[in-house]
Structure 1
């Protein structure tokens, strides 16, 4: 028997953008239903557990701008969540270590300190480096100022208030490198963290690079308790204000009648009705599959069909029965050579063995007091590299989003094993030998990522190109009552970019400048409604939603 329910708003997917939007709608009095096809909410912020001893973050490796003036803390505070998420700061003198052959650069907090560190590392390029960081700092400053202003400006006023962004924002990073006359070595140091957004210098815009760099130069942090605490806190705010989260609930169709959204149809045949639907699902799947291209204009459909995705990652989740040699609380960006543009050309040609690049995130250094990360005396870290997205490369045909059962596919297993071995070899080059201490090793590929998030191309970074350079869709669509959020929108990638996009979507629906208001201290959520957390509080259990909180199958540590 088909069930029908009525809601004020339905959110499809529970990544950071969807949960932020849902929570702000709920604290504003809307009856909100969040539907998540996975077992837990959180999208790229979720965690998983192994051997009752280790917890691994899928996508939260570090967060920027979480100090007193930070954007992400303001978003949580506006929901009444002050103190429910706390952040441990990484090494201010070098939260990212960039390692090239013969050169190591530790990235410090602040544009001035960063420029000084670069100049000391590459003294012959001081003038070009200063020009580069000056333009990027100006673009980032203009972008953040406009984001927090809460004002609607005419095109003329916007251009007047963002002159450097108008000149450089939509040009490529490669063009800025050329303008500054920088060598391949300098370009590699400056773009070493470009895997944070999954695009090379010839594809990424200056605005993208400047925003991501500025984000971390405002301070790099890690949420105490791991990435799942972010989703759990948002679920608490949602449920405390009358909303619902339902996990293991896959939406089959977003319903559109007479040009407006009217609800969703579920895979099990149930129907939920609402005059407002927010899709936190992958943008291309939203347009082409969940809604259907017949409901959109030709331009939107054409852009979506021709869209390019950012590159995906392969990740090794590693646990050791010993501690790593002493090192700073910093991520490692390791490159086999000093030619960043050549590296992205290799990727385009599907040549990544031997592995040319690694990003290493040390969870047991970032959150040493967290009981779930690993037992005392052990280590927990992740090793990542960008990799080709094509199904052919991975030995699959249609991918898991289309229902393909790929995990026992021999071609897939061979490619996965080959890359695992290549990444381990490169990791030991970067860190020293550790294999004999491995007690848990697991590899996730872009196909794995697609399986859990249904993301096109298996990337956590969303669209690289949708129309012109730097162009991405806004949260409001051409269908009345239908909005989109997540890492594909123009508000950027990552946890904070997705959260800001969720805020922007809620602001459009509620017709008020939410981000500017909460950044100035406004509170919309009532903290007195939030549940008391006891000593056994488990963010993973909370993130299943109230209806499944006690369901079987939840792995616990210890």
Structure 2
């Protein structure tokens, strides 16, 4: 049966788009190669009792009137999907030798804390924090859907933001002459981007940093409730979410995409699916290769020439017989670096594969909500994340699987050594479960080329005016994913909702 919308891939932006269209009365069919919907937002259960989310750790833009809240209200899900806020006095805990800084929501308090740590650079810190907010204000007016009158009314902020179009975070740090230690404390949430300051777009950092300052959140019922609720909207409205369906080809007639062919990975049967409009949630470069890159306009071909983001190493752990709140953990994330220079730390791990002095993130999802459900009541989940090089791990896995497993164990050992030294003595004695993931894990389970974590890399080159969006130059065919929007929970909500708004004319975003 032909549908109004055929959606290839079930990442979060696609589910948001599909749910909105289904709610609006359109027929929707979603094809997903994995056994779980949700892309990087999906959850998985191990040992029949421990549930982990693949990648998401905390989110932003979920407050009343913000993007996520607007979408959920449109779907009548704002009471089903609720969020707990992280500690406004310190949602990110930054830790490094001789320094620690808890990032507060209040900008004045942030300046006070920085000035206390770096009294000789207090004025520089104050000016930098003010610049962050000015640039963020300018970016709001430059974000689609752009309202010309609003831009004209705020030309000062817009001009200020445009000055950083090609700027890295490091360049902004240098402009304000911030001490190296202050730079590291402010940029220690680098695992949220998997890029060091000298490569990371200043725009990307500003958007995320200010977004979390305005409110860092975690779903009250964990992330699987979010994914399942969006799927339920589609199915309840008569749509389909078909799992284990890997798209092998797209149907094209005279530069018009009419559908797709997919293989059922369980039965190995091939099926053709037709639709008035096809929404592509899989990696745009991967989709373009299936279709034939020459079928796209030169402008789109140029935009498809993006770099993939680096990938990551993850460790999913469970502890028993200990309350991590007794060691300072709670409604916050912890970011650690053994190096004062994050550029050095990144290069050591990503390029030299040296994790003897790691920089990494620690998140404790069990402590972010009181609803339970992710593990037995006497246990707590703790996860560790850092950067990893896909080529290195892929070669290791292909050439020597035993060495691959051993390398993952060595990285986790380095991280746990730091945890026991600086955070929780004898942490290993409380471990009852642990499993690690590498870039090849991402590639296998989330179908992301080269194991990338965020689609296109968040460098100034990929964040400029030539960044890919929903347009493909083919008729009835649109991109809708992290590389054609932006990565992360709130940005993917925005990407899906914005495409819905453009195709339906139903305005739900500002």
If the length of structure 1 is used for normalisation, what is the TM-score?
A: 0.84
Q: Deviations over 1:282-334 (max 9, x none)?
A: 22212223x221312345435535x3222211111111122234124211101
Structure 2 residue 352 is matched with structure 1 residue 350? yes
Structure-2 residue corresponding to 1:468: 461
Aligned pairs for 1:416-431 (under 5 A) are 416-431=408-423
Q: Distance in 1 between matches of 2:501 and 2:381?
A: 39
Q: Per-residue deviation at 1:104?
A: 0.9
Aligned pairs for 1:225-374 (under 5 A) are 225-267=221-263, 268-289=269-290, 291-301=291-301, 303-305=303-305, 307-325=306-324, 326=326, 327=328, 328-370=330-372, 372-374=373-375
Q: CA 1:336–1:394 in structure 2 vs 1: closer, same or farther (change >3 Å)?
A: farther
Structure-2 residue corresponding to 1:503: 497
Structure-1 residue corresponding to 2:189: 193
Q: Is the 8 A contact 2:104 2:110 kept in 1?
A: yes
Q: Is the 8 A contact 1:315 1:445 kept in 2?
A: yes
Q: Distance in 2 between matches of 1:176 and 1:38?
A: 41
Q: CA 1:161–1:116 in structure 2 vs 1: closer, same or farther (change >3 Å)?
A: closer
Bigger mean CA offset, 197-206 vs 439-448: 197-206
Is the partner of 2:14 in helix, strand or coil?
Answer: helix
Q: Distance in 1 between matches of 2:298 and 2:397?
A: 31
Q: Distance in 1 between matches of 2:341 and 2:240?
A: 49
The number of residue pairs the alignment matches comes to 499
Q: Is the 8 A contact 1:303 1:466 kept in 2?
A: no
Q: Is the 8 A contact 2:318 2:434 kept in 1?
A: yes
Q: CA 1:392–1:442 in structure 2 vs 1: closer, same or farther (change >3 Å)?
A: closer
Q: Deviations over 1:340-375 (max 9, x none)?
A: 1222332442333214211000012112331x2222
Query: 1:413 pairs with 399, 405, 412, which one?
Result: 405
Q: Per-residue deviation at 1:85?
A: 0.3
Q: Is the 8 A contact 1:262 1:274 kept in 2?
A: yes
Q: Per-residue deviation at 1:160?
A: 6.5
Q: Distance in 2 between matches of 1:124 and 1:388?
A: 38
Q: Deviations over 1:392-447 (max 9, x none)?
A: 665145xxxxxxxx9x8234223223223223223323422211221111001111
Structure 2 residue 445 is matched with structure 1 residue 452? yes
Is the partner of 1:52 in helix, strand or coil?
Answer: coil
Q: Distance in 2 between matches of 1:363 and 1:469?
A: 31
Bigger mean CA offset, 358-367 vs 53-62: 53-62
Structure-2 residue corresponding to 1:177: 173
Structure-2 residue corresponding to 1:552: none
Bigger mean CA offset, 411-420 vs 149-158: 149-158
Q: Distance in 1 between matches of 2:349 and 2:241?
A: 39
Q: Distance in 2 between matches of 1:271 and 1:84?
A: 35
Structure 2 residue 30 is matched with structure 1 residue 34? yes
Please report the RMSD computed on the Cα atoms of aligned residues, expressed in angstroms.
Answer: 2.4
Q: Is the 8 A contact 1:476 1:505 kept in 2?
A: no
Is the partner of 2:292 in helix, strand or coil?
Answer: helix
Q: Per-residue deviation at 1:130?
A: 1.8
Q: Distance in 2 between matches of 1:170 and 1:154?
A: 23
If the length of structure 2 is used for normalisation, what is the TM-score?
A: 0.92
Q: Is the 8 A contact 1:460 1:487 kept in 2?
A: no
Q: CA 1:317–1:499 in structure 2 vs 1: closer, same or farther (change >3 Å)?
A: same
Q: Distance in 1 between matches of 2:246 and 2:223?
A: 23
Is the partner of 1:310 in helix, strand or coil?
Answer: coil
Structure-1 residue corresponding to 2:52: 56
Q: CA 1:391–1:20 in structure 2 vs 1: closer, same or farther (change >3 Å)?
A: same
Unaligned segments of structure 1, at least 5 residues? 398-405, 517-558
Is the partner of 1:278 in helix, strand or coil?
Answer: strand
Q: Per-residue deviation at 1:469?
A: 4.8
Q: Distance in 1 between matches of 2:285 and 2:133?
A: 32
Unaligned segments of structure 2, at least 5 residues? 264-268
Is the partner of 2:90 in helix, strand or coil?
Answer: coil
Structure 2 residue 168 is matched with structure 1 residue 168? no
Q: Deviations over 1:193-228 (max 9, x none)?
A: 122122222222221111001110011111012111
Q: CA 1:336–1:192 in structure 2 vs 1: closer, same or farther (change >3 Å)?
A: same
Q: Distance in 1 between matches of 2:52 and 2:275?
A: 36
Aligned pairs for 1:34-113 (under 5 A) are 34-113=30-109
Aligned pairs for 1:219-230 (under 5 A) are 219-230=215-226
Q: Distance in 2 between matches of 1:349 and 1:391?
A: 9
Q: Per-residue deviation at 1:161?
A: 6.4
Q: Distance in 1 between matches of 2:331 and 2:69?
A: 22
Q: Per-residue deviation at 1:172?
A: 1.5
Q: Distance in 1 between matches of 2:432 and 2:96?
A: 29
Q: Is the 8 A contact 1:60 1:226 kept in 2?
A: no
Q: Distance in 1 between matches of 2:443 and 2:468?
A: 21
Bigger mean CA offset, 205-214 vs 340-349: 340-349
Is the partner of 1:515 in helix, strand or coil?
Answer: coil
Q: Distance in 2 between matches of 1:31 and 1:135?
A: 46
Structure-2 residue corresponding to 1:481: 476
